[in-house]
């Protein structure tokens, strides 16, 4: 078995056969309906077209070949259905002895297994056809598994929820022993925010993508008028279809987005046609990013994304949706989610600190001070703003004329905050124990101005923590200090069983709220 807890191993012994269960009998048909549709289309397209035209369903030119065609189609259909049945019969799963195992294949047999104490996140996925049949796919990721996440498809929805609760309980050590029959109640939850459809639509219409589309449309019209050639619009049809599909995918994935907190982690639900329910243990989130495009500043909207161990860095709409902690939200929503991801921010006034990270800008009075204990007047020291963030030194303002007063960092007792961007605002938060490695980078221009970039490595994902154009001495000092903070934080992290650390918390109604008096659902 690989160190990440996910492996392909031999088949189970006969002594274990009593513990194995099969998925729902309709599972192969839900997964392979495209194959059935292809068979029907291939053999029925001509007959359907003739029926619409008012002609005979069967072509008289076929003569005596009709029975052979029907026999061939029937055999192909039987083979397809037979393959589905064999696929169902040989697909089994087991939760026992600290592992979850999925057995597949009747010609090439394979078993995937994952250690329960390495479970990073658990999703319940319901494609449209599965929702019609009341089925769901259970997908859970283990540390560093990347694209090898274990999938169990399909189970009745109630059974999938029950199995998820069992896996979470065993991951915490609450339930022990090889039995898979004992009922484990699903942990209660408390909804903390939801995204209204109107806000989601507005965020898509006012996104960077829309701005690019409008600029491209203006350029196309100008070229068409200048060249007196309208054929250019025909060439844009594929692009228009692709853009429409991208908008629809974003709307479909973000529709009815709801976040809730429970003892087993942060629960996210979203989707219009294909619904998905995620469970993210907050202690397993490796890094978090809050962004605000320029147009969104008018409405006070923000987007939040995370890196989660086990999700991997693969691109695609599905992975983008899974790493989105908040597709669009107001500042109270951001504060609420930050309080869930980092219950102990490590500062006395977290709202002021996070607000400075989201909106702050080094004031002119702050440029006179010097951070990190450097002596006043030192030419090499970075600038410390009045809000505590150490920013790019004034001498390097030519490298970032707009962003040098905003680019900066602040280390609390529990996390490192990195802010950047004057127009496209970004705040990155990395818990100290999640810092895996670091790298100092300095190009020739940066060397000329005495600054350097510091890159922090976590698990793969949409968040790439990077401190831009810090004073060299400040960057080296931060490099050493952050390495020490990471070591100390990892020493205090005593258990792989993350659910055990929160299973004794107060009821959901008494869970801590964000440091604000505003209602996050009506911000």
Model pLDDT for residues 346-357, shown as the tens digit of each residue: 888 889 999 999
Q: Which of 62-66, 303-307, 460-464 has the highest mean pLDDT?
A: 303-307
Which pLDDT value is given to residue 270? 93
Model pLDDT for residues 198-214, shown as the tens digit of each residue: 999 999 999 888 888 88
| Position with higher pLDDT, 283 vs 190 | 190
Which pLDDT value is given to residue 245? 86
What does DSSP say about strands 135-142 and 119-126: parallel, antiparallel, or unpaired? antiparallel
Rounded to an integer, the average pLDDT of 65-86 is 73
Which pLDDT value is given to residue 222? 84
Q: pLDDT tier at 292 (50, 70, 90 boundaries)? A: very high
CA distance 421 to 410: 15
SS3 category, 223:
helix
Q: pLDDT tier at 477 (50, 70, 90 boundaries)? A: very high
Which pLDDT value is given to residue 372? 37
Q: pLDDT tier at 330 (50, 70, 90 boundaries)? A: very high
- The DSSP result for 91-140, as a single string, is -EEEEETTEEEEEE-SSS-EEEEEEGGGEEEEEEEE-HHHHHTTEEEEEE
pLDDT above 80: residue 168: no
Q: Which domains does the chain have, with CATH numbers?
A: 24-90 (no CATH), 342-492 (2.30.29.30)
CA distance 310 to 122: 10
Which pLDDT value is given to residue 402? 87
Contacts of 30 (CB under 8 A, 6+ apart): 127, 129, 130, 133, 135, 153, 154
CA distance 100 to 104: 13
Which pLDDT value is given to residue 54? 61
CA distance 97 to 170: 9
Which pLDDT value is given to residue 174? 57
| Position with higher pLDDT, 363 vs 74 | 74
| Position with higher pLDDT, 34 vs 504 | 34
Question: Average model confidence (pLDDT) for the chain?
Answer: 77
């Amino acid at each position: 078995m690989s160190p990440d807890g996910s492996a392909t191993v031999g088949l189970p012994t006969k002594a274990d056969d009593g513990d194995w269960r099969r998925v729902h009998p309709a599972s192969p048909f839900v997964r392979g309906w495209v194959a059935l549709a292809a068979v029907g289309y291939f053999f029925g397209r001509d007959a359907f077209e003739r029926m619409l035209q008012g002609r005979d369903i069967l072509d008289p030119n076929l003569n005596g070949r009709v029975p052979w065609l029907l026999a061939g189609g029937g055999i192909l259909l039987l083979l397809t259905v037979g393959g589905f049945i064999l696929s169902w019969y040989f697909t089994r799963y087991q939760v026992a002895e600290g592992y979850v195992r999925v057995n597949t294949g009747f010609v090439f047999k394979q078993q995937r297994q994952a250690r329960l104490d390495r479970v990073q996140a658990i999703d319940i996925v319901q494609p449209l056809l599965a929702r019609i049949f009341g089925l769901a796919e259970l997908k859970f990721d283990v540390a560093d598994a990347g694209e090898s996440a274990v999938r169990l498809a399909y189970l009745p929805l109630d059974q999938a929820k029950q199995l998820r609760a069992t896996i979470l309980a065993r991951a915490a050590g609450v339930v022990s022993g090889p039995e898979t029959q004992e009922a484990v109640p699903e942990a209660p939850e408390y909804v903390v925010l939801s995204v209204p459809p109107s806000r989601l639509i507005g965020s898509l219409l006012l996104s960077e993508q829309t701005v690019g589309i409008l600029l491209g449309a203006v350029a196309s019209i100008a070229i068409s008028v200048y060249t007196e050639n309208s054929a250019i619009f025909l060439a844009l049809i594929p692009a228009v279809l692709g853009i429409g599909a991208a908008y629809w995918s974003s709307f479909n994935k973000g529709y009815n987005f709801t976040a809730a907190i429970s003892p087993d982690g942060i629960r996210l639900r979203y989707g219009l046609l294909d619904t998905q329910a995620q469970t993210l243990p907050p202690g397993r989130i490796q890094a978090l990013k809050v962004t605000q495009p320029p147009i969104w500043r008018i409405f006070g909207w923000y987007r939040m994304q995370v890196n989660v161990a086990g999700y991997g860095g693969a691109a695609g709409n599905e992975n983008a949706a899974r790493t989105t902690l908040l597709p669009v939200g107001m500042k109270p929503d951001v504060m609420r989610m930050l309080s869930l991801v980092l219950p102990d921010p490590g500062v006395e006034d977290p709202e002021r600190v996070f607000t400075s990270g989201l909106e702050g800008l080094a004031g002119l009075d702050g440029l006179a001070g010097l951070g990190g204990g450097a002596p006043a007047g030192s030419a090499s020291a970075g600038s410390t703003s009045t809000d505590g963030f150490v920013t790019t030194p004034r001498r390097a303002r030519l490298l970032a004329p707009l962003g040098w007063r905003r680019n900066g960092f602040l280390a609390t007792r529990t996390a490192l905050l990195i802010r950047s961007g004057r127009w496209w605002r970004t705040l990155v938060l990395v818990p100290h124990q999640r810092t895996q490695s670091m790298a100092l980078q300095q190009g020739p221009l940066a060397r000329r101005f005495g600054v350097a970039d510091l890159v922090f490595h976590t698990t793969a994902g949409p968040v790439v923590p990077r401190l831009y154009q810090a004073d060299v001495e400040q960057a080296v000092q931060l490099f050493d200090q952050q390495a020490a903070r990471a070591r100390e934080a990892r020493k205090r992290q005593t258990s792989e069983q993350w659910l055990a650390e929160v299973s004794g918390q107060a009821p959901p109604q008494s869970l801590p709220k964000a440091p604000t008096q505003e209602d996050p659902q009506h911000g």
